[in-house]
Structure 1
Amino acid sequence: MIKMGAKRGRTSNQLSLVSCKESSMMASAVNVASNEDLLIQILLHVPIKTLMAFKSVSKHWLSLITSPGFVHLRNPLPSAASLFFATSFCRNNPSYQFIPLGATDGCPAPFKTLDFVHDPLGSGISVLQSCNGLLLCASYRARELKRRYYVYNPTTKQSATLPQIRREYAKKVCGMNLAFDPVKSPHYKVVCVRRSETNRQLFQIEIYSSETLSWRVSGQPFAAPMYTSFQNCTYWNGSVHWWRGRVDPWHRFIHTGVRIDGPYTLYLKVDEERVEQLPLPMRNIATVNLNEQDEVKTYFTASYIGESEGHWHIIEEVPRHILGEVPRHRNNPNLSLCNVYEVARDYSGWFVKYQVDLSAISNVFPEIIKYRYNRCSGYILNILSVVRRGREEEDASFLVAEIPGGKVIRYNLVDKSMTKLWELTPIGYKFYNDDGLRRDCVSAFSYIESLACV
């Protein structure tokens, strides 16, 4: 009896100790939850997917996690977690492939198709632009007059349908661009460039604000150089930057009697609502034969344009010349190098930030060599993105490129090392072209985890 009582006493003591520990932990948890500053510091280090689950803990946690102040603290300088692009030749709702940028990142793709809203046109939804965690989307394969536009956060699954601009202007739309900087404001803007109603050769800007939920005309009509593309843009340094498909600096382009000198492109300072000119870098030298006379033309053709962590990069066209047959020029001594340009934040000029040695890449991945008459005639690769990571002295910046055979490689821009990053999954009819690349060789979009509200 005494022994049994002793055992019961020890068990009772153990339960009391456990109960005390649980009570102490509960008290600590209550103290943490009641101390909002401490709670914020803890939540700032929690993965975003876990934060999404924590929003259902209580109304207080939901309000805290979705507050603009917390969103700003959580991710003031967004960093791309992966790249994605649409598969080729999709007649209906396009599907997307994701390429994780982390070496061991096994996270599933945030989406394969966009079904966050039922588009009334029935052809599905496609991504037009990625900007600091938000996506600008539109009706897929639709005429501009009926097309719907959306802003979507793939992390929080929130979306907003933009009101349509006036019907008489809808068919004159040349491009829609998203401008969002979570460091400056929790609100985003959408820039619409359309033809002027008074002069078809001039352009007019309208701006939509998520704060006012309405469109309004901005500024006066303006002229643009020939081949300016308003469809694809880069948002950087508080400005929407447009690019030109072709550049010939020896010509002057005339619009409505206004003589425009090249080569330059245009950008819009969003807050000031002012269109400015940005001179383009000139790098390549080509020799052409015209009426048996050699004429040297200086031009710049970009094979990649993109922004990463506060830096805007442009890469000159990958050399695809007939090596050894094109006369070398003193300003272009090595046709196996292509330059990665960066523009100064004050727009004072361009400078070569990195050089990509294509011959070095071909030593590791010989499939990029294009042969003609049993000799190297150039290089085949599609540059998907330039990714900046932290400080350059830590060898963190790299280039992502697609090479023949569905491979995606990572090229370190500092130490020149390279590894295979991913292998694409062929989807759809004739996924690869004759060069072994995707048939639609476009740059990839950046997927950035964000808590921003739309």
Structure 2
Amino acid sequence: MIKKGAKRSRTSEHLSPVLCEPHLQTFADSAVKVAASEDLLIEILLHVPVKTLMSFKCVSKQWLSLITDPHFVRLRNPPSLSASASALFFASSSSKRCDPDYQFIPLDNSSDEFPTPFKTLNFIDDPLGSGISVLQSCSGLLLCASYRAGEANRRYYVHNPTTGQYTTLPQITRKYSKYVCSMTLAYDPVKSPYYKVVCVRRSETSRQHFQIEIYSSQTQLWRVSGQPFIPPEYTEFQNSIYWNGSVHWWNGSIHWWNGFVYGGARFKRRESYTLYFKVEEERVEQLPMPTTPWYRIASYVGESEGHWHLIERYSDFNSVFNVYELKRDYSGWFMKYQVDISDISIQFPEIFKYRCTLDVISLVRRGKEDEEDGSFLVLEIPGGMIIRYNLMDKSVKKLWEFVPDRKLYNDDCLRHVCALPYIESLACF
């Protein structure tokens, strides 16, 4: 083997090195055959761990070309609706003066076996000097933004935490940038290697009207989509590290959450429907919400393995969770699971000790439609514990326990926290 920086001889370019030991000579001959067969090399690289694979890009230009080739990426990560989170990022900051911290929690393996992609985002030195936060996780890519910056100056980035690659989005027309309400990433590797970013901003002519603009990674340009529209009252457009329940990408559409609002001594439903935007058709539609009693409130909305879920609980005490799933043709909702926390309190009696409600962090689907024994809820128990609750056999497993600190956790519960799914992806851009 020739060391990096060493000068190759004319002989070494054409002949295999002569080794004294026969078994070493056999090994060298095998290595030469592997290097000479691109198909065999690809077959081997397909089974190499992702972290090692990223290091292998430095071996040679040939290996770099193979690993970053779109065909290899599709072989290694076949586009599928079944992509499921292998870990969660817990993002938090208790002060506008502090950059967000990210606690990486594997859902299956220990933290030693699953290396942490990052603690803080430093893939670029943000020119505004404000740090960077994650707004959204979508099919393995992260939509990021300048953290402490006014909207008119904020920079947006798309980042792949698996490969370390990123791109800086061009700003929309300067005179409209101060009206931006939301940026949402739309990426479906099943349909295209390109992603889009959908911007919702207020119309320059009326604060009641909103306008959509779309950025395409294929054209690298922004363009206005459709006519201004008026959304239902209380529609949540804003992405934020403090709230991960308002904007969702699912089934080729972006969904803006419209839930409940306090009214008098009890909860009152805002609207019987919410909005979604079909990205390919560039059309805003209305989505009816589940019809449930006033005393139930939505505590979680999210997507997993191509399924969109809404979880409701009683407003006074969350003894029972009703988990609804939306049909892919948008024809209606149906109850998928019902969870009674008394099953959990047997193993974790501190649920009642703190007299607090359980917080639903995430719902993770695993397996095929008829094999759901791997699906589970990720819950926070007051006192700093994160657990996973199997929705079929009702088993409980502790994933993590936070130590109280100023930024992420206090004596009672997680503060200002959202959980972002982590999905390994070799997507290149």
* TM-score, normalising length: structure 1: 0.81
SS of residue matched to 2:136: strand
* In 2, Cα distance between equivalents of 1:429 and 1:309: 31
* In 1, Cα distance between equivalents of 2:341 and 2:399: 17
Query: In 2 relative to 1, CA 53–449 (structure 1 residues): closer, same or farther, beyond 3 Å?
Result: same
**Bigger mean CA deviation after superposition, 74-83 or 172-181:** 74-83
* In 2, Cα distance between equivalents of 1:117 and 1:130: 18
The equivalent of 2:209 in structure 1 is: 202
Which residues of 2 match residues 376-395 of structure 1 at below 5 A? 379-391=356-368, 393=371, 395=373
Identify which of 435, 444, 447 aligns with 2:422. 447
* In 2, Cα distance between equivalents of 1:247 and 1:92: 30
Query: In 2 relative to 1, CA 49–429 (structure 1 residues): closer, same or farther, beyond 3 Å?
Result: closer
* In 1, Cα distance between equivalents of 2:28 and 2:194: 39
The equivalent of 1:319 in structure 2 is: 314
Q: 2:92 is aligned with what amino acid?
A: T
Q: 1:38 is aligned with what amino acid?
A: L
The equivalent of 1:32 in structure 2 is: 34
* In 1, Cα distance between equivalents of 2:106 and 2:352: 26
* In 2, Cα distance between equivalents of 1:380 and 1:276: 34
Q: 1:227 is aligned with what amino acid?
A: Y
Query: In 2 relative to 1, CA 356–443 (structure 1 residues): closer, same or farther, beyond 3 Å?
Result: farther
* In 1, Cα distance between equivalents of 2:36 and 2:191: 30
Query: Where does structure 2 lack aligned partners over 5 or more consecutive residues?
Result: 1-17, 239-245, 263-269
Rg larger in structure? 1
The equivalent of 1:129 in structure 2 is: 136
Identify which of 325, 349, 356 aligns with 2:339. 356
Tell me whether 1:266 sits opposite 2:275 in the alignment: yes
**Bigger mean CA deviation after superposition, 85-94 or 129-138:** 85-94
* In 1, Cα distance between equivalents of 2:271 and 2:100: 37
Identify which of 36, 48, 51 aligns with 2:50. 48
Tell me whether 1:278 sits opposite 2:284 in the alignment: no
Tell me whether 1:241 sits opposite 2:275 in the alignment: no
Q: 1:319 is aligned with what amino acid?
A: Y
SS of residue matched to 1:364: coil
* In 2, Cα distance between equivalents of 1:305 and 1:394: 19
What displacement does 1:22 show? 3.1
* In 1, Cα distance between equivalents of 2:418 and 2:361: 4
* In 2, Cα distance between equivalents of 1:139 and 1:430: 20
**Bigger mean CA deviation after superposition, 70-79 or 217-226:** 70-79
Cα deviation 1:420-449 (Å, max 9, x = unaligned): 11112333258326xx11122x44101112
Tell me whether 1:97 sits opposite 2:103 in the alignment: yes
The equivalent of 2:302 in structure 1 is: 306
Asked if the contact 2:155/2:169 (under 8 Å) is kept, the reply is yes
Cα deviation 1:325-348 (Å, max 9, x = unaligned): xxxxxxxxxx72111111111111
Asked if the contact 1:315/1:341 (under 8 Å) is kept, the reply is yes
Query: In 2 relative to 1, CA 429–35 (structure 1 residues): closer, same or farther, beyond 3 Å?
Result: closer
SS of residue matched to 2:237: strand
Asked if the contact 1:320/1:379 (under 8 Å) is kept, the reply is no
Runs of 4+ in 1 over 6 A off after TM superposition: none
Query: In 2 relative to 1, CA 234–430 (structure 1 residues): closer, same or farther, beyond 3 Å?
Result: closer
The equivalent of 2:86 in structure 1 is: 81
Which residues of 2 match residues 46-195 of structure 1 at below 5 A? 46-75=48-77, 76-77=79-80, 78-90=83-95, 91-106=97-112, 107-195=114-202
* In 1, Cα distance between equivalents of 2:20 and 2:304: 51
Identify which of 213, 225, 228 aligns with 2:232. 225
Asked if the contact 1:81/1:448 (under 8 Å) is kept, the reply is yes
The equivalent of 1:251 in structure 2 is: none
Q: 2:291 is aligned with what amino acid?
A: M
The equivalent of 1:3 in structure 2 is: none
Q: Compare the two structures and name the one with the higher helix fraction.
A: 1
Query: In 2 relative to 1, CA 350–430 (structure 1 residues): closer, same or farther, beyond 3 Å?
Result: closer
* In 1, Cα distance between equivalents of 2:273 and 2:261: 8
What displacement does 1:18 show? 7.0
Query: In 2 relative to 1, CA 431–17 (structure 1 residues): closer, same or farther, beyond 3 Å?
Result: closer
* TM-score, normalising length: structure 2: 0.85
The equivalent of 1:254 in structure 2 is: none
**Bigger mean CA deviation after superposition, 75-84 or 45-54:** 75-84
Asked if the contact 1:370/1:380 (under 8 Å) is kept, the reply is no
What displacement does 1:393 show? 2.9
Q: 1:309 is aligned with what amino acid?
A: E
What displacement does 1:370 show? 6.7
* In 1, Cα distance between equivalents of 2:86 and 2:287: 30
* In 1, Cα distance between equivalents of 2:29 and 2:311: 57
Q: 2:101 is aligned with what amino acid?
A: S
Asked if the contact 1:304/1:443 (under 8 Å) is kept, the reply is no
* In 2, Cα distance between equivalents of 1:354 and 1:59: 51
* In 1, Cα distance between equivalents of 2:19 and 2:164: 45
Query: In 2 relative to 1, CA 28–274 (structure 1 residues): closer, same or farther, beyond 3 Å?
Result: same
* In 2, Cα distance between equivalents of 1:155 and 1:388: 21
What displacement does 1:101 show? 0.6
